[in-house]
Structure 1
Amino acid sequence: MAVDFIHVEGITRINTFIRSGEIEYKAVNKGPEISETAQNKLLEKLQTLTEEDMLFVSGSLPKGIKDEVFIDIAKLSQQKGFQLIWDISSESLINCLPYHPFLIKPNDEELAHLLGVPALKTDKELIGGARELMDRGAGKVLVSLGEKGALYVDENESLFTTAPIGKVVNTACAGDTMLAVFVGKLIQGENLEEALICATAAGSSTAFSAGLTDLSDLQKLKEQIKLRRVVM
């Protein structure tokens, strides 16, 4: 697989996750500070993307980069026509929606926070929250619901999946796995329902694995998942 990194001074941040019984601790180290030169190089590289490309922007920003970079990327997506997928917890996501991202993936707590409400608990509240973000410009919304499964909303569909049963030993990257598998399955030509079920199973497989999952339990987990379509 080809890579094209922007190289910066400093070492890669290493995070450690420690689980003691039912409690998970995260030791998050500081990464390098990103220079303005490196930031400009990244934006220049993104300007080469075209309508045939898809860009995922996820995680938190490293030191030295301000939230305004999200707006710059959103504008580039609209100008160049590439599909943009957001998986960030920054409040700046709201300001990126007018540039019509292809997909956003908050979890249920992040969705409530973006809307300025304490929580979204019912089907109606969750779907209504997702549709409010679509009204502001988001094309599609995928919401990870943890042990409750997932929600997908677009202009035509509102789909819920349940989560399979298992022991959670690792919460890191479960949402990332869900998003990657969901989009990957759609690119491979799978229908929406199958993509959402596979994505939910893959996210759960990560959560049930102490390290990186090999997805060997994917089919078994898929068989436990139920899909529900909600008409509102």
Structure 2
Amino acid sequence: MIYTVTLNPSLDYIMHLANMNINAVNRSLKEEVYPGGKGINVSIVLNNLRIQNKALGFVAGFTGKEIERVMTNLGSNCDFITLDQGLSRINVKLEAEKETEINGMGPKITPADLKELFAKLDEIQEGDFLVLAGSIPNSIPDSIYQDIMKELAHKNINVVVDATKDLLKNVLKYKPFLIKPNHIELAEMFNVEINSDEEIVTYARKLQEMGAQNVLISMGGDGSILITDEGEVVKISVPKGTVVNTVGSGDSMVAGFIAGYLKSKDLKEALKFATATGSATAFSPWLATADKVDDLLSQL
């Protein structure tokens, strides 16, 4: 089984404008509302790829109910903890000449709520996958990801972490199966400028020295580089297509990597599947579908 954890899910409210005028009334031309959050995106894409998974996390208020309703209608298996107070956040994205985002704060999560989450995580069995993805709300200790991995260390599960800076660095000692920073996040982690593939590999290997098993570095239109647990370096280009949406493409890569690995038990095939899935989202209005992924696999 694959489990995803989204600690601060959202409703993403996307408004398309012809122009954005400050200090004036703006009227949208088109609107969309999607459930959001990195772990939630992973769950939805896995479901689109017909890979069974369970989405964990916290929801609250009418927005939380809507997140769960939409995901359930999409066929996702949700096991969220419903909080007594607050609202799951709404993230507003304004698409005009430039893209503007206003992200909500989200509800307060108490120690009792976290205890309930750990009880659900205790159901994970040896060999299962656990995806820890995205930022965390202010009400949760910034050690939460490492606390989860420490608690589950004896279970021998495959943990995938898609986070940034210290949130990622601090879990490496627990040897996650896969981490997926992009090239910008990799540079930020070491406070350096990275200008070549060789430098990407150098700093990715440092993350392996700190404990990561497999390191996947996404580079947008320049493809991706995977450094495997056996030290092999594999670079892959992206397929051809028109980019219409970059939101969720990195999360889709994570879902695609897991799906590809489960199908083949081969890291190179997992990278190929991850690339096709991430590109399928980038070339689509929303998240990748199985048909779109299959179309792109033939180019890789």
Residues 77 and 83, structure 1, Cα contact 8 Å, conserved in 2? no
**Structure with the higher fraction of residues in strand conformation:** 2
**Cα offset for 1:38?**
0.4
**Counterpart Cα distance in 2 of 1:215 and 1:82:** 26
TM-score under structure 1 length normalisation: 0.87
Counterpart residue number, 1:11: 87
**Cα offset for 1:53?**
1.9
- Tell me the percent identity: 37
Higher mean C-alpha displacement, 91-100 vs 140-149: 91-100
**Counterpart Cα distance in 1 of 2:118 and 2:107:** 19
Counterpart residue number, 1:95: 170
Counterpart residue number, 1:230: none
Of the three residues 187, 195, 216, the one matched with 1:142 is 216
Counterpart residue number, 1:126: 200
Of the three residues 137, 148, 151, the one matched with 2:225 is 151
Tell me the number of residue pairs that the alignment of Structure 1 and Structure 2 aligns. Answer: 223
**Cα offset for 1:218?**
2.7
Please show how residues 41-80 of structure 1 align to structure 2 within 5 Å: 41-80=116-155
**Secondary structure of 2:269's aligned partner:** helix
**Cα offset for 1:14?**
2.6
Residues 1:180 and 2:249 are matched in the alignment: no
**Counterpart Cα distance in 2 of 1:90 and 1:77:** 22
TM-score under structure 2 length normalisation: 0.68
Counterpart residue number, 2:244: 169
**Counterpart Cα distance in 2 of 1:116 and 1:15:** 29
Residues 142 and 152, structure 1, Cα contact 8 Å, conserved in 2? yes
Counterpart residue number, 2:67: none
Bigger relative contact order (CA 8 A; separation at least 6): 2
Q: Per the alignment, do residues 200 and 143 of structure 1 end up closer, same or farther by CA in structure 2, a change over 3 Å counting?
A: same
Q: Per the alignment, do residues 82 and 190 of structure 1 end up closer, same or farther by CA in structure 2, a change over 3 Å counting?
A: closer
Q: Per the alignment, do residues 162 and 131 of structure 1 end up closer, same or farther by CA in structure 2, a change over 3 Å counting?
A: same
Of the three residues 143, 155, 159, the one matched with 1:84 is 159
Q: Per the alignment, do residues 205 and 126 of structure 1 end up closer, same or farther by CA in structure 2, a change over 3 Å counting?
A: same
Deviations 1:62-118 (A, max 9, x none): 23112111221121232332221100114132121111111111111111112221x
**Counterpart Cα distance in 2 of 1:68 and 1:177:** 25
**Cα offset for 1:190?**
5.5
Residues 277 and 293, structure 2, Cα contact 8 Å, conserved in 1? yes
Residues 1:205 and 2:280 are matched in the alignment: yes
Counterpart residue number, 2:110: 35
Q: Per the alignment, do residues 151 and 77 of structure 1 end up closer, same or farther by CA in structure 2, a change over 3 Å counting?
A: farther
The one-letter code of the counterpart of 1:103 is L
**Cα offset for 1:177?**
0.4
Residues 46 and 76, structure 1, Cα contact 8 Å, conserved in 2? no
**Secondary structure of 1:91's aligned partner:** helix
**Secondary structure of 2:264's aligned partner:** coil
**Counterpart Cα distance in 2 of 1:194 and 1:79:** 29
The one-letter code of the counterpart of 2:158 is Q
Please tell me the root mean square deviation across aligned C-alpha atoms, in Å. Answer: 2.0
The answer for unaligned runs of 5 or more in structure 1 is: 226-232
Q: Per the alignment, do residues 2 and 214 of structure 1 end up closer, same or farther by CA in structure 2, a change over 3 Å counting?
A: closer
**Counterpart Cα distance in 2 of 1:143 and 1:67:** 23
Residues 1:196 and 2:274 are matched in the alignment: no
**Cα offset for 1:215?**
4.3
